[in-house]
Amino acid sequence: MGKKPSGVGTNSLNGRVIKTSDVVSPKNPITSEKPKNLTNVILNNVFRLAIVGVGMGTIFGSILANVDLTKPLFPDVNLPFVDGLLTKITQNSSETSDNIPENVSVTETKEDSSSPRNSESLAFSRELGDLKNKFAQLQTKYPQLEAGAFFVDLDNGAFVNFNGITTFSAASTIKTPILVAFFQDVDAGKIYLDEQLATSPSNIGGGAGGMQYQPVGTKYSAIHTATEMIVNSDNTATNMIIERLGGKDELNRRFKEWGLDVTQISNLLPDLEGTNTTSPRDLAMVLAKVNQGDLISVRSRDRMLDIMRQTRTRTLLPQGIEKDATIAHKTGDIGTVLGDAGIIDIPTGKRYIGGVLVKRPHNDYTARTLIQDISRTAYQHFKWYQPRSSVATPSSSPSGN
């Protein structure tokens, strides 16, 4: 026999000679697939990624097309405003009645970084002539008094302007716009509710309130001080807040920005001479702006109204409303002027604002009676007032069968 080639073995299978080199090694299996073309692989992957990219772009484009980027993602979250980061958006209504004085409007707002982001401004719709005439009749019973009143139905903008733009000594009603300014600075991060304020010889005021009797240098939290200013009409607390807000000139500048025509602080409290001024219209207007969210955040508005509902002097506007109604208000009382202004909620769900100021002979008791009468007359009017017809319910409509 001849010599076998090297590396080649033979086996016999049915007489057939099989070369050892034909036997498949486990490490190199033979498959039927053809080698893949590298170019085709790359192109296929690129094509698939392109399809995915187009799909994702379409999805995100649809989402963005239905998102109003001018509105906050979380409208119930109120954050302090920072200059340059957030812009106030004001929606003003141009629908006003021809018989509304030009300077009687709550739709005029000023840009301010500490104001809330957005609001639906209230537009005065029409004057309630019948209610105004009733106020005039009440005034005739007290010829020695000079009354001014301004009421607004917050559901529809109907209003009464009875000498409402007349300038009066503000007495302690000036504390309402001061409280608004306080919460405006809280919203802006300029004041912390728990920061400590101290009494000093320059801010201790006589008259109402017990903080004047504590040792000079006694410290109180900012929120406690603001609460005392309203609930107990504490004059020392008021002066401390005025001082913390930057002084009377800074506050007067802000009052003008809000559209308050005659509201001004000339002297610290108690101001028995009546140099600080306001009007029923100004008091009603600042409360309307707060209610609509024009000046302070919803959180601060709720805290502010809660404080004003605790006002202890309840001899004026509260005497004209029924026991199930609620009022957030602040009174004012010096020898020559008596007043009250607040937001009233009727059990029916209606909310209105009333501001009344009365000039009087020194400490004339009848001024209180007149304010009570005006409040009672307004309450009964708004309680039953229906500006538009009721909408028929499905159950009262014909079935059509």
pLDDT score for 355: 98
pLDDT score for 282: 98
pLDDT score for 2: 46
Q: pLDDT tens across 178-187, in order?
A: 999 999 999 9
Quickly list DSSP for 325-378. Answer: -EEEEEEEEETTEEEEEEEEE-TTS-EEEEEEEEE-STT-THHHHHHHHHHHHH
Q: How far is it, in rounded angstroms, from Cα 167 to Cα 148?
A: 9
Taking only the tens of pLDDT, the chain with its 401 residues reads 444 444 444 444 444 444 444 444 444 444 444 445 666 667 666 667 766 666 666 665 555 555 554 444 444 434 333 333 223 323 333 333 334 444 444 443 333 333 333 345 677 889 999 999 999 999 999 999 999 999 999 999 999 999 999 999 999 999 999 999 999 999 999 999 999 999 999 999 999 999 999 999 999 999 999 999 999 999 999 999 999 999 999 999 999 999 999 999 999 999 999 999 999 999 999 999 999 999 999 999 999 999 999 999 999 999 999 999 999 999 999 999 999 999 999 999 999 999 999 999 999 999 999 999 999 999 999 998 765 544 444 544 444 43
Q: How far is it, in rounded angstroms, from Cα 375 to Cα 369?
A: 10
Q: pLDDT tens across 113-151, in order?
A: 333 333 456 778 899 999 999 999 999 999 999 999 999
Long-range contacts of 194-200 (CB under 8 A, 24+ apart): 194/221, 194/222, 194/223, 195/221, 195/222, 196/220, 196/221, 196/222, 197/221, 197/222, 197/225, 197/240, 197/241, 197/244, 198/240, 199/236, 199/240
Q: Which residue has the tokens 């229906």?
A: 386
Tell me if 133 sits within 8 A of 375, measured CB to CB.
no
Q: Rounded to 5 degrees, what angle do the CA atoms 194, 80, 121 make?
A: 115
Using CA atoms, how far residue 56 sits from 63, 66, 156, 157, in Å, is 11, 16, 47, 48
Q: At what angle do helices 248-257 and 175-187 cross, to 10 degrees?
A: 90
Contacts of 339 (CB under 8 A, 6+ apart): 168, 170, 171, 173, 280, 283, 316, 331, 332, 333, 355, 356, 357, 358, 371
Amino acid in the structure at residue 177: P
Give all domains of the chain, ordered by start, each with its CATH number.
Answer: 89-172+262-384 (3.40.710.10)
Contacts of 231 (CB under 8 A, 6+ apart): 307, 310, 311, 312
pLDDT score for 66: 54
Q: Which residue has the tokens 């498949």?
A: 24
Q: How far is it, in rounded angstroms, from Cα 229 to Cα 233?
A: 5
Q: How far is it, in rounded angstroms, from Cα 337 to Cα 229?
A: 19
pLDDT score for 183: 98
pLDDT score for 385: 72
Contacts of 143 (CB under 8 A, 6+ apart): none
User: Alpha carbon 209 to chain centroid distance?
Assistant: 29
- Name the token pair of 340: 């009250």
Q: Rounded to 5 degrees, what angle do the CA atoms 313, 315, 319 make?
A: 125
